[in-house]
Structure 1
Amino acid sequence: MSDAEPPTAESDDAVAAAFEVVARSAPQIRGGLAGRRGKTDGRNASGETQLAADVWADDLLEERLTAIEGVGQFASEERDDVVDAGDGEYAATVDPLDGSSNLQSNNSMGTILGVYDADLPAPGNRLVAAAYVLYGPITTMVTAREGEVTEYVVENDGSRRAVREDVTLPEDPTVYGFGGRVPDWTDRFADYAREIEDELKLRYGGAMIGDVNQVLTYGGVFAYPELQSRPEGKLRLQFEGNPIGYIVESAGGGSSDGETSLLDAEVEELHQRTPVYLGNEALVERLEARF
């Protein structure tokens, strides 16, 4: 852990405080990546090898989010179980470094936050807020709460400056990004992908946050689909699918697991995986019509 003084939440509103803590932690997380690119001996709850940066960012956010009055539970993609933070009506979930495999090649990655008003694991319809930080050429943060989506630039001191308010997906979609190996796609998704390839421009960087942010900026569709080798998908519902689905739906778009909104998907366990489809509602509906 860094010797730097940890940021404290200045708001009595636990949700606003969670946003503030993540924003004020972002410059420190970004600044600490360079020396933490190596692999550890550990694996996360999903069996993936952890980088030193994954573990460090997870510990940092756990310490700071559980210190917020009103946050009673904390869970992360990087740890097996829910952390009991005491009394509090909210549960905070994080993917501390989404796309951390991009660290070695110095491509974009991010941090995802979900705030639920129910004990974990919880369905997406119990989210009250969500946010993500994108560590791109500049550090930005997108928040969603009560149907309003705002994009901020995060300054070096962790303060935020709003650059887009009332964010909605553009009506005319431009980009798409699809994950998974093409030979491993199912036939029905491959047929859909071929249609989209004729209509939109490919933008795929291997970090969900970067790819979704392109969709939110230019309109389009992102998917990490069901695969022949992994019908349950790759992404985690609790930490990735639900929070990002909440943001995209709050911005007027659609989300789906292939059959229903990600926010309505049944949750059975903390690290449950799911296919993820996000973007302009008409494009998501076209995909669902094939399933």
Structure 2
Amino acid sequence: MSSNNESHSGPGGSEAINTEIITLTRFLTEEQTKHKEATGDFTLLCHSLQFAFKSIAYYIRRASLINLSGLAGSANSTGDDQKKLDVIGNDIFISAMRSSGRVRILVSEEEDEPIVFDEHPTARYAVACDPIDGSSNLDAGVSVGTIFGIYKLAEGAKGTKEDLLRPGTDMVAAGFTMYGASAQLVMTMKDGPVNGFTMDSALGEFILTHPDMKMPRKRSIYSVNEGNSYWWEDPVKEWCDTLKKPEKEGGKPYSARYIGSMVADAYRTLLYGGIFAYPADKKSPKGKLRILYECAPMAMVFEQAGGQAVNSKMDRMIEIIPESIHDKSGIFMGSYEEVQKVIDIHNKYKK
């Protein structure tokens, strides 16, 4: 017997209809109207980015069905064996950026040299991206993602790679997409809030689900590959030891959470707080992560969400100028106070 106050809407229950959904398309349009000087070029570029993210999300979902995982038989610019999906993700990105008509230069992790779109000589933007970050985890069903940074070209830029050897402070926007159980897009514009969108597969749209993301000031979670600890510098070893033997934190050690897919580790750290680290070490003195399309975009997101991001010399990550388009760096990024602990220990060693 059903009582009078129960819903009689069938086995699916009743669904509240939200008619005020903010899609990414609507969000970008509303942002554009706030800037009287806007030409619409940036908005059009973002629509092309959005299409690339949707396409990659689709292919990742289908990867196991249509045999897109596994190696493609070639290696990328940094020596990693390429997965078939890496190649597809890269092709999708190149095509989307070319067809936007708003991009002059594209730097991709999968390409040794920048791609210059000479058919758009007056295009005003440059994009740096890692089309599918964490792809070595794909076969295991672990979340992978896309990381991107957008630069506005200086007046008189000639359309060469030197136009992109600039600090992250010059970016006009940055963010990443994570392709997990659902596709999550985190995006921020210069000096603006960090906003999180979730892909609604039924609508085929990214929906604003996490407006104005702010990360906790501190959290007892650390994310680092301790398999490399033998090669770490002494301050990094001491920092990691203090997390396991926290005398001042009531004796409770930090929780270790390391996925090995930068976007997945970054997204969790952004939501829950804590710290993600990939320090430079004696084996990789320049670090492993690329400044232009991994470290700088993440640094912009984390700083604008209230956190910090520094390199292994404790310099502010977003101010580092890459020496080449695939230049690398160590990085510590996360909650403000967690990164500050790393800085304080390093400063002690400098004395």
Q: What TM-score results when the alignment is normalised by the length of structure 2?
A: 0.76
| Number of equivalent positions | 283
**Paired residues for 1:241-256 under 5 Å:** 241-256=295-310
Aligned with 2:236 (options 171, 186, 189) = 189
Q: Which residue of 2 aligns with 1:209?
A: 263
Q: Which residue of 2 aligns with 1:277?
A: 332
AA aligned opposite 1:150: N
Q: CA deviation at 1:180?
A: 5.5
SS of equivalent to 2:187: strand
Question: Deviation string for 1:7-36 (max 9, x for gaps)?
Answer: x9x976333333333333334313323121
1-structure distance, mates of 2:285, 2:294 = 17
In the superposition, relative to structure 1, how do residues 180 and 27 fare at CA in structure 2: closer, same or farther (>3 Å)? farther
Q: Are residues 1:232 and 2:280 paired?
A: no
AA aligned opposite 2:205: S
Q: Which residue of 1 aligns with 2:50?
A: 23
Kept in 1, the 8 Å contact 2:74–2:82? The answer is yes
Q: Which has the higher helix share?
A: 2
Q: CA RMSD in A?
A: 1.9
SS of equivalent to 2:238: helix
**Paired residues for 1:1-291 under 5 Å:** 13-33=40-60, 34=63, 35-85=67-117, 86=120, 87-118=122-153, 119-146=163-190, 147-156=192-201, 158-179=204-225, 181=227, 182-197=229-244, 198=246, 199-258=253-312, 259-291=314-346
AA aligned opposite 2:75: R
SS of equivalent to 2:298: helix
AA aligned opposite 2:164: L
AA aligned opposite 1:62: I
Kept in 2, the 8 Å contact 1:255–1:284? The answer is yes
SS of equivalent to 1:104: helix
In the superposition, relative to structure 1, how do residues 222 and 108 fare at CA in structure 2: closer, same or farther (>3 Å)? same
Kept in 2, the 8 Å contact 1:25–1:158? The answer is no
Kept in 2, the 8 Å contact 1:132–1:143? The answer is yes
Q: Which has the higher strand share?
A: 1
In the superposition, relative to structure 1, how do residues 75 and 62 fare at CA in structure 2: closer, same or farther (>3 Å)? same
2-structure distance, mates of 1:106, 1:200 = 26
Kept in 1, the 8 Å contact 2:218–2:338? The answer is no
1-structure distance, mates of 2:213, 2:183 = 17
Q: What TM-score results when the alignment is normalised by the length of structure 1?
A: 0.91
2-structure distance, mates of 1:122, 1:45 = 20
Unmatched runs of 5 consecutive residues or more in structure 1? 1-7
Q: CA deviation at 1:45?
A: 1.0
